[in-house]
Every structure is written in C-alpha cells, then in structure tokens.
Structure 1
Amino acid sequence: MELNQYLSMFIDESKDHLQAINENLLSLEQSPSDISIVQNIFRSAHTLKGMSATMGFEDLAKLTHEMENVLDLVRNNKLSMDSFIFDCLFKGTDALENMVNDIIQGGTGQADVSHIVTALKSIVSGDYQKQEAPAAAQKQETKPAASGSMDLDEFQYSVIEQSISAGHQVFFIEVSVREDCVLKAARAYMVFDLFEHNGEVVKSTPSVQDIEQEKFDRSFSVFFISQLGQEQLQGMILNVSEIESAKVVTVDEAFLKDIAEQKNAAHIQAQAVVTQAPAASVPANAPAGGQAPAAKAAGGQQAVANRTIRVDIERLDLLMNLFSEMLIDRVRLEQLASEVRRSDLTETVEHMARVSSDLQNIVLKLRMVPVDTVFNRFPRMVRDVAKSLDKKVDLVIIGAETELDRTVVDEIGDPLVHLLRNSVDHGVEPITDRIKAGKNETGTVYLRAFHSGNHVFIEIEDDGRGINREKVLKTAINKGIVKPEQADRMTNDEVAALLFAPGFSTADKISDISGRGVGLDVVKTKIESLGGVVSVESKPGLGTKFSVQLPLTLSIIAAMLVRVEKEKYAIPLSSIVETASIKSEQVRYIHGAPMITFRNSVIPLVSLAEVYEVPSAAEFKAGETEIVIVKKGDKMAALIVSELIGQQEIVLKNMGKYLSNVFAISGATILGDGQVALIIDTNALIK
C-alpha cells in the first residue's frame, strides 16, 4: 500500500482527534467521575493509535497506547482521576501534537517520549498509588453480542453460498477472551488481523466498529471465508494471548439451510470443536494497535460511510474565480435582456440568474468554516498558562459559529494565541492583587467573534489591571521609540498603540509566556499581511480589549450600488442598516461636525464626496438628500450619497499591491456595463 497518498488524511484526522482529546480532558477535569467523557477520550486515543501504527509512526502509536491503558483502567472504575494523571495525559497530548506537527513539517514524527511513557506505565503497573474501585464496579457494563449472530442478509447469504459452490472453505467462528483481559479490543484486533491475512470476513457480530470500541462482553463471532483448514485456523486463533476459546464450525449447504430456517443451534453444537486456550500473560510489548479491518468485513454491520470529502483549497480558489467571471457576464446579460425586451430571452436570463444564485451560495459556503476550528484549542492553552502563573482565569467564548474564509482561518491562530497569552500574563492580575482591588479572584478573558460588513471582528478582552501608562512610556523612552518631550502629550490610545512597536515588551523577566523580546509587533505584522487591522483599548484598573478586523476575503458579496456625483460605489449590504432621505434642517452641528438623530440616538453624518475627494461636490445640498445608515458592531454612521442605484451581487477584486492602503476602500468590482466601481470599507469610516 502506498502510504504517502494517505498522509494528508492522516494529518487532518489526527488533528481532529487530538483536539477532541484536549477538549474532553478539560471537561473531565471539571467532572472527574464522568465515565462517558473518559469513553470519548479513549475512543479518540484508540483511533489515533491505530492510524499511527498503520502509517508506521511507532512513537505516536506507543505513546497513545500507554495513554489508552491508563484510560482503560479509569473507564473500568479501577482507577480514579487526580491531578498527577491529568498532568500526565495533558503532557502526553502535547507530545502527540508536537509529533504530528513534525510530520506536517516533513519530519518522521519521532520523539523521545520515554519520560511520559514511564510515568504512564507507573500508573498502570501499580507503582503509582491509586484508589481501587469496589469489586462490583470493576467489571464494565458492555454491550452484549447481538442475539441474531447468525442472521445473514441476502447479500451476505449469496456471498457465502457462491463461495461454497466455488470450493472455498467457509467457517462460523465464535471467539471468547479471558475474563481478566484488560484490553479486549486489542486482542480482538489481533484476531481480525489473522482473518485479514488468511481470508475474508463476510459478517461480524457485534459490528467491527463496536468491537473496536470494546462494545462487546467477552465474545464475538464472524462468518469467514478461507483456504485454511478448521483445526489450523482454530490453532492460530488460540495462539493469540488471552483468547480463552475458539469455536470453529464449517459452514456447508446444510448449515446455510439451517440458518435460513432458524434451526441451526443443534447443528453448531454437534460440529463445534471447543478447545480451552492455555493461560498466557500479556507481553509488555504486545501490539494492541489500531482499528479492526472494517474494509474487510464485506456486507457486515459496519459504520455508515463518512459522507464528506476533503478538497484542496486551490481547487476552490479556481472554482471561485471561474464563477466570478460568470457572474460578471450574467449581469451583462441581464442588462442586454432589458434593452432587447424579448420575453423568451428575459425568461431564460431570469432562470439563469436563479440557478447561478443558488450555485453562488454553494460555492461561498464551501470556503467558509467557523472560527471555532481555531477557538477550540484556546481553553486548554489558557488553562495551562493560568496554572503556570498561579492565576485563576475563565475563558468565555462568544460567536464561535461566526464563519470566515478557510485561508484566513488557517493563518489567525498564532496571532490570537499571542494576544490571549498577553491578556492572561499582563492583563489579569495575580489572585492577591485582584482581592485587594475588590475583584473576584478568578479573572475573565472574553474571546468574541462577529460579522460587520464584509469583515469579521475578533475581540480579546480581559477584566484585569489595564495598560500601565507610565510603565509603557518608560519602556518606550528607554528603547528610543518615544522622546521624553513627546510622552506627556500622548493620549492613552496613542500610548496603548506603542505595544505594537517592534521589539516592545514590558515584561519584568523573561519567561516562556512573554517577555522574550518579541512583542505584539509580530501580531500586527501577521494581521496586516492578511489585509486586517489590530487595535487596542484600555481602561486603568478595568481591563484591556484587543480588536482584530479581518476581511472575509469573499470574491462575491451582495452590495448596494450608489452614485456620488458622477462616480459609482458599492456598499456591502451586510453593513447597511437602512436607507433614507433627510432634509437640510434635520442636520445638527456638534463641535463643527454634522450629526443627525436616528432612532433616539445621534449619529455622525459623513459626506462620501469629501472622503473620496469627488470633483464639484457640494457639502450638503438644499432639499432632500439620500443617506445610507451603516453599522460597525453597535456603532453607526450616515453616509451622504447622490443617488441609490440598487442592490446587486458584485465580484470583489483586489486593488493590487500599489493601491493596497487606500483609505476606506476594500476593493473594486467590474459592473455589467464594464465600468469599475470601488467598494467602500464602511468600518474605516466609523470611529
């Protein structure tokens, strides 16, 4: 088997299983006696072990196997969770992540995990002081084998019948493991491995998936096609450690007839050859690996096939570009149809518009993923950082379902990690300081995500001490970033912005968390490379909020086309609250700035003609003037336009490197008549 073709699948699925282990360990830490959580962790570890062994990553498989042994004792009520076990499992998970990351970078996935393996083995062997559960509780309640173990569907019956006719040996095999067997699934896997190399499994009871997850009592049965003889096959099965017995029955036409008539019990009893297996100890290095060969169980009770596929992002990029070009032509056709005024042409174009609209929604959704795929790794990280600093911190995640383009999601993880670490380290005070300040000893860090226009905003806010103005200015002066005479004239926002200066750090000592000479400038650089913006607000004693603005990077958006004098602009519909007309007497001036009253609040009035320096534009015309109310979070503004042209789906085109920093412009689009219209970034217009 060529394994390279499966490497990307292994990497993706490994990351999913490791994330599941992390999340469930955090949940188990809150509810240590919840065995259902332990079962979830065990399943993820077991699957990861099998995948690793199959791909030849032995260190991964070895470490996961030892973690699995500990989890098996816990889920069988033979061991109680405590802080030492949690730490070992967390360290093991971190090591697994490091090995997977090494594989992603082209490495072998090898690592020295002997210290973690030794710690895990000490827990299993009894060198670790553990609390024994009552004897009655030590036997796990497992799902018994199905009573209809010999029920065959039409396909399975036909396969067996044709195999017998072709001269192949068909057997009904019942295998039982010893009652004191710790890893039943591992022994079952070894038996299935024998089956895979010596024939074909037609049906398994319980299903292969249930056996893999140890959802069986002590026995399982299979219908098996092989060229081996009955006694030879039986001997091979009994050679597997901790297999207590194996009943091997030859299936012939008479046997099949008995199955069909549901009268096979006596037939099996008469033919069965029962041999007790000799007692055998489990070798310390016995393979306990991976998934049972589900692919071999043709027609058996298998898991429903995964109905998802993984698609290369470059293919989606190409699909998006092709559809964008088609959309431009569609708009042009709609204009031509309105000019020609032929009913059949109009109907055809309208139908094409409906179909392409549905296609557009599908294409867009293919690229969008919830930011939860990034956020879900942060609770574990915050837990570890807070623990290392001897702080108590709660992470509250809001808006994890907010969707963002996959290419952006893949890149924002590291900047957000840096900001969260900064909030826990610099923002949230030590427990004693919080109590002195009259605060709850547990600090809170909020991680929020929400849409605004064609952007996504991600905010990280803490209820900590806020930014120390004097300390920041002192550091900035010492590093030569700010001159002493400038310091007194700087506003609090300007001082806060100094945190993003290259190499800026206010940490008193170097640590793994912060103060390593690499400040928030790396965050700013990364966010800006994605076409985003990062800012910070702080209130002394109350906390700090970092705000990251990211483009959706969608190629197609719904927009309102407007005219400003002789030029056309597009405003994303997602940022528009409503459109209206106002009279000159409704405008008020506060400190020289025009404002209007809207829904019991006063909002600023912005002249797009002034912002974009459109020629021959009056500041405000007599009579009624069209306005567009736009929003950014809970803030709003009114934009003055000359005319509202109408709604249209537009293709978002990048402005290119030479025009990348145009104020309040997020891109351009080609209209149906070939004209170019600039797309307004409303978020930049709202302060």
Structure 2
Amino acid sequence: MEVNQYLEMFIEESKEHLQACSEHLLELEKSPDDLAIVGEIFRSAHTLKGMSATMGFEDLADLTHKMENVLDAIRNEKIHVTPEILDVVFESVDHLEEMVMDIASGGDGKRDVSSTVAQLKRIELGEEAIAVPEVATTEVVEPAAESTLEYDSFEQTVISQSSEQGFHAYEISVKLRDDCLLKAARVFMVFEILEKDGDVIKASPSVEKLEDEQFDQQFYVAFVTKESAEDMQKKLMKVSEVDEVAVTSINQKAFSEKEYEPQKEVAVTVEEVAAPAPVVPAQAEPVAKPKKATKTDKNQHAPVGNKTIRVNIERLDILMNLFEELVIDRGRLQSISTEVNHGELNETVERMSRVMGDLQTIILTMRMVPVETVFNRFPKMIRQLSRDLNKKINLEIIGAETELDRTVIDEIGDPLVHLIRNSVDHGIENPTARRAKGKPEEGTVVLRAYHSGNYVFIEIEDDGAGINREKVLAKAIAKGVVTLEQSYAMSDRQINELILASGFSTADVISDVSGRGVGLDVVKTTIESLGGNISIESTQDVGSKFSIQLPLTLSIISVMLVEIEKEIYAIPLSSIIETSIIRSSEIMNAHNQKVIDFRGKVVPLVFLEEIFEVPRKEQQDEEFHSVVIVRKGEKLAGLVVDSFIGQQEIVLKSLGNYLTNIFAISGATILGNGKVALIVDCNALIK
C-alpha cells in the first residue's frame, strides 16, 4: 500500500485523537467512576491503534494497544482508576505524541518505551492478576450460519472447489464508523489486506459502487483463504475508522437447497463482534479491487454537509506571498495613476484597491488559528507540575477561541510555557503557606486571551505570592542588573520587570522547573521579535498578572512613511502615539540628552539621521522639526525626521541572511515607485 498520500491525514488525525485522550483523561481524574469518559478515551486509542498499524508504525500501534488494554480493564471494572494509574496513562500519551511528532518531521516513530510498557502490563494484571486479553475472545466463526450474500452457479463452484483444496470460505461484514469521511480509502485498505491472504469472490455493494462511496457505512465480502476467521478479523480491525468486523463461514450445504439469482444485493444485519487489528485474502477468480482514493476522490466523496477542507499550510504561505506581491504592484499602480491622472485608469485602480482590500481580509482570516491550539497543552502540564511540586492548582482558560496569525501561533507556545511554569513555581504557594495566609489550599492560574483593536492580548494571572520587591532588588543589585542608586528611583512596575532580565532568577533551589536563570528573558526577546510587548502587574501576597500584547498579523502592516534627506523610512503605526511639529526652542537638554515636554512628560528625542548616518548635503539649523512620538510599554520617545509622507499598508520583507542584527531595522519593503524603504524597529530605539 502506498502510504505517502495518507501520511499527512494520519498525522493530523493522530494529533486530534491524542488531544482528545488528554482532555478526557483530565476529566476522568475529576470523575474517576465515570465509565462513559473511559469509553471515549478507549475509542480514540482504538482508532489511533488501527491507523498506526495500517500505516506501518508498529511501535506506535503496540504502545497504543497496551494502553488500550488498561482502558478496557477499567471500563470492564476490573481495575479502579487511581492517580498513579493515570500518571502512567498520561506518560503513554506523552510518548505517543513524541512518536507522532517524530513521524511528522520525517522519522520512523520509534521510541524506547519499555519502562512504560512494563508499567502498563503491571496495571493490566491488576491487584488480582486478572489479565486483560490481548484481543477479544468472542468466537468469530459461526459454522452453520445462513449465507447472507447470494451466489450464482460459478461463484458456488469456486467456493466448493476451494473448500476441497483446503481453503476456508468466509462472508465478511465490515462496518465503518459513522464519522468516516474517506470511505473509498478505507475500502481500498480492506481489500489491500484481503488480497495478501486470499481472494475476494464477491462484494456487496459492487466494487464500482464501493469506489463511488454509494453505500452507507457497511459492506460485505465473500472471501476464500487458508487463514483462520479470528486472524482475519484481527487484521481487518486494524484499519482505521473500521468500527466492526464480523467473519462467518459460508454454509455450502445451502447451495443445493435453494436456487440463487445472479448478483442480487440484499440488506443484512450482522452480529457485532469486538476485536482489534488490519486485513488478508485467498485463491480463486478474484473480484476487481477498488482503486486507490485520489485527491480528487477525496473531494468528490466528501459528505454533502461537510463545509470545511484541510489545506496544507505551505499553500497558504505561497498564497500569502503572491498576495504580498500584488500589494506591492497595487502601490506601484496607484503611484502611476496619480502621475498620469487619467480618469478611467484612476477609477480602475480604485476599484482594484477595494477588491484587494476584501481579498486581503479573506487571506488573513484564512491564516488565523484559534489560540486554543496552544492552550490545549497546558491543562496536562499544570496537572504534572502540581504533582511534582506538591501543590493544588486549578487552571482556568478564557477566550481560547481568540484567533491569531499562524506565524504568531507558531512562536508563542514556548514563551507561554515559561510564564505558566513561572506562575506555578514562584507564584502559587504550597497548601500550608496558603492556609497560613487565609487563602484556599487550591491556587488558581487564569490563562486569558482577547482581541483589542489590531492586537491580541494574552494574560497569565495567578492568586499566588506575588513579586517580592526587596528580594528582586537585592538579586538585581547583586547581579549588576541595576545599581543601588538607580534602585531608589525605580517604580514598582520597573522593579517587577527586572525579572525579565537575562540570567535573572529568584529561585532559592535549582530544580527541573526553574531556578537556572533561563526563561523570562527568552520570553521577552521572543515577544518583542513578534512586534509585541510584555508587562507585569503584581501585588505581594495577592498575585501577579503577565500581559502579552501581540499584533494580529506580521506580514502586512500599516506604517507611517517618513523622509530623511532623500531616504524614506517606514515606522509601524502600532508603535506611534501621534505626530507633531515642534520648534527648536522647545528642545531642552537633560543628562546630555535632548528632550521635549510632551503633555507633561519628559520625552527624549532620537534624531534618526544620526542613528542611520544619513549624509547631509549641507548642514542647516531649522526652526521647526517633525517628530513622531512612539511608545514601548510605558516608555516614550520622539523620532525626529525631515518630513511626513503619509500612511500606507506595506509588505514586511526580511533583510535576508547577509544583513542580520542591523540596529533599529526590523525589515524592509518595496514602495509603489519601486524603491526600497527600511522599517524602523522602535523597540530597539527606546531603552
């Protein structure tokens, strides 16, 4: 079987099933006697096992099978759910996730899980050493069963002769799951397995109808093989999304007792038989095998009510790149139409701009992904951390449906992990300390996401110990982050943000969770590289709140174009508070820094011509200066330029590998006149 065409689907479906397992395991921990939850986990594990075996990932299938045995023992009430058992099952899910990630990155999905398998086996045996059977022991052969398919004389002869040669003749009923989307692909997998061990004599519905998915969820096959019925059933159950397989022997005596009409399809009811595994066939005049499902087949046979499709993210990236080129050309056309000033051309360009605006909205929306894809990993992480640290912690997730650009989603996961681990380790106190402070034993960590303007805010809030100002200042002074003199003038917010400094840690004990001075500085760097910022609010013994502000998208941004001599620079609108014209007489000096009074605040001036070393043809003292007031968190700065050109949407392009770490430049863009404008990194200019 050619598995490459199904690999991407396998990876996506495996991730979904593993996520479902994790979520239901967390529910099971809260309601250990709810066997309905166990059934949900078992179904996800069973499907994953079948998919893995069908795709040839035996290690993945084997571990899932061992986990499935434990779940089966729980749902049959041979084992009672305990936190220790759940620890091992959670560990199994972690291993499975690692295996799937390895397969996604081109690996073979192999991993040493011997210790986990041994633990699962011990749990499976239980306190009374009751072994859970490897497969269902229900007898799958019914020798005297009435034939459910009807055979013509030729088919009867084939079945009779095969019996004389030592072959078994079976009628096999295969039922697919109700939510199976690619029925033709599953039918092909079944026939692929059958033809390895025997021959298919008859199929109902016909092969053509099976290829076109013109059947409900069940189909029937007459099959001759030397394999046992039980082995055939095991193999077929390994095909993903196969819900039931029943194998019955064909009653050949019935051939002489009644006349058969040729190829008549009948509706039948087949007894349900439980078991797990993939498929096999025999020898005779075989029925044509269904064709492999092609990509066209998948789209044609999708259910009528299905209104979503999966699209490879690389295709969306290509689409975005092409649209970015259109944005550049739009700017060029607008520039030309302004110069030519032709009525019909102006009208066409305006209409094209409106259509492109709508197209831009749709493309950006297509790239938006709910932050739920990142948030989903945290409940399991919190559970493990609370057990490792002997703390009681409740995680509340609010606004998981909030959407962010896929590029931002890819980068935000690790910073959030650091912040949540920090809240759990440094923030939430142990139950004894919380009782002494009059707090409930269980601490609460709230993970919240919401939109505001063109930004998404993500907040991590806890009701823990808060930040100890004295301890933070003492560590910062000892490490040389600030001087004693500087500390006297620092506000509470500035002291809080000291914990974001590189190598800073207030942990008294170095552990696996924290204390090595690596983490929050990486968080700050990553968030700022995404065009966002982080702020901290904290009250000692009440709690802390980390707020992350992120732009909705990173590829197309709105900027203010400014000019210095003959060079054009772009300043992101997200950083700009306002623009202003000031007199030279309003500029003052403070600590060798030129500043202005802006609405009662002292704002330092940054002369971009000096920062970027723009050559002047002649030096001249000007009475007025154009200033762009920009902000980074609570800090302000005034960027002095020659003139303002106007607001424009531009495409952010990287400077490439040759121009890395250019101070105060975050990228470049191509303007309508074909010239390149550099994009100013305001965060780098504000210290």
TM-score normalised by structure 1 residue count: 0.66
What residue in structure 2 maps to residue 437 of structure 1?
A: 437
For residues 564 and 323 of structure 1, what CA distance do their matches in structure 2 show?
30
For residues 556 and 549 of structure 1, what CA distance do their matches in structure 2 show?
18
For residues 617 and 289 of structure 1, what CA distance do their matches in structure 2 show?
84
For residues 530 and 581 of structure 1, what CA distance do their matches in structure 2 show?
27
Establish whether residue 255 from structure 1 lines up as the match of residue 261 from structure 2: yes
Distance change >3 Å, CA 325–CA 258, structure 1 → 2 = closer
Establish whether residue 224 from structure 1 lines up as the match of residue 221 from structure 2: yes
Identify which range, 335-344 or 324-333, moves more after superposition: 335-344
Checking the alignment, whether the CA contact within 8 Å between 1:505 and 1:519 is kept in structure 2 is: no
> Which residues of 2 match residues 262-661 of structure 1 at below 5 A?
288-289=276-277, 304=303, 308-311=309-312, 313=314, 316-337=316-337, 340=340, 342=342, 344-451=344-451, 456-479=456-479, 481=481, 490-516=490-516, 518-528=518-528, 530=530, 532-552=532-552, 554-557=554-557, 594-595=598-599, 616=622, 618=624, 648-654=648-654, 657=659, 661=663
For residues 129 and 195 of structure 2, what CA distance do their matches in structure 1 show?
41
For residues 547 and 558 of structure 2, what CA distance do their matches in structure 1 show?
25
Q: Report SS of the residue matched to 2:448.
A: strand
What residue in structure 2 maps to residue 195 of structure 1?
A: 194
In structure 2, runs of 5+ residues without a counterpart are 133-146, 161-168, 176-186, 211-215, 235-244, 282-288, 582-595, 615-620
For residues 454 and 686 of structure 1, what CA distance do their matches in structure 2 show?
22
Q: Report SS of the residue matched to 2:438.
A: coil
For residues 308 and 605 of structure 2, what CA distance do their matches in structure 1 show?
49
Q: Report SS of the residue matched to 2:461.
A: strand
Checking the alignment, whether the CA contact within 8 Å between 1:189 and 1:289 is kept in structure 2 is: no
Taking only aligned residues, the RMSD between alpha carbons, in angstroms, comes to 5.8
For residues 9 and 546 of structure 1, what CA distance do their matches in structure 2 show?
37
Distance change >3 Å, CA 403–CA 506, structure 1 → 2 = same
How far did residue 388 of structure 1 move? 2.0
For residues 468 and 351 of structure 1, what CA distance do their matches in structure 2 show?
59
Checking the alignment, whether the CA contact within 8 Å between 1:454 and 1:572 is kept in structure 2 is: no
What residue in structure 2 maps to residue 246 of structure 1?
A: 249
How far did residue 364 of structure 1 move? 2.5
Please give the per-residue CA displacement for 1:436-469, whole angstroms capped at 9, x wherever unaligned.
Answer: 2233332222223345666544332222111223
> Which residues of 2 match residues 104-143 of structure 1 at below 5 A?
108-127=108-127
Distance change >3 Å, CA 550–CA 573, structure 1 → 2 = closer
Checking the alignment, whether the CA contact within 8 Å between 2:564 and 2:642 is kept in structure 1 is: yes
How far did residue 49 of structure 1 move? 1.5
Please give the per-residue CA displacement for 1:343-373, whole angstroms capped at 9, x wherever unaligned.
Answer: 5444543443344334333433343322221
For residues 279 and 376 of structure 2, what CA distance do their matches in structure 1 show?
26
What residue in structure 1 maps to residue 171 of structure 2?
A: 173
Distance change >3 Å, CA 306–CA 38, structure 1 → 2 = farther
In structure 1, runs of 5+ residues without a counterpart are 133-148, 152-156, 178-187, 209-215, 583-591, 597-603, 622-626
For residues 191 and 667 of structure 1, what CA distance do their matches in structure 2 show?
53
Letter paired with 2:359: L
Checking the alignment, whether the CA contact within 8 Å between 1:396 and 1:446 is kept in structure 2 is: yes
Checking the alignment, whether the CA contact within 8 Å between 1:444 and 1:462 is kept in structure 2 is: yes
What residue in structure 2 maps to residue 184 of structure 1?
A: none
What residue in structure 2 maps to residue 599 of structure 1?
A: none
Distance change >3 Å, CA 510–CA 581, structure 1 → 2 = closer
How far did residue 45 of structure 1 move? 1.4
Q: Report SS of the residue matched to 1:255.
A: coil
How far did residue 202 of structure 1 move? 5.0
For residues 522 and 571 of structure 1, what CA distance do their matches in structure 2 show?
25
What residue in structure 1 maps to residue 38 of structure 2?
A: 38
Distance change >3 Å, CA 605–CA 456, structure 1 → 2 = farther
Identify which range, 336-345 or 55-64, moves more after superposition: 336-345
Please give the per-residue CA displacement for 1:613-661, whole angstroms capped at 9, x wherever unaligned.
Answer: 999474899xxxxx99x99999999999999988754323457757855
Checking the alignment, whether the CA contact within 8 Å between 2:608 and 2:639 is kept in structure 1 is: no
For residues 321 and 344 of structure 2, what CA distance do their matches in structure 1 show?
29
For residues 58 and 127 of structure 1, what CA distance do their matches in structure 2 show?
29
Distance change >3 Å, CA 237–CA 444, structure 1 → 2 = closer
Letter paired with 1:413: G
Q: Report SS of the residue matched to 2:261.
A: helix
- Aligned residues between the structures: 590
How far did residue 569 of structure 1 move? 8.0
> Which residues of 2 match residues 2-151 of structure 1 at below 5 A?
3=3, 9-75=9-75, 80-103=80-103, 108-127=108-127
Distance change >3 Å, CA 617–CA 80, structure 1 → 2 = farther
Letter paired with 2:261: F
For residues 676 and 365 of structure 1, what CA distance do their matches in structure 2 show?
28
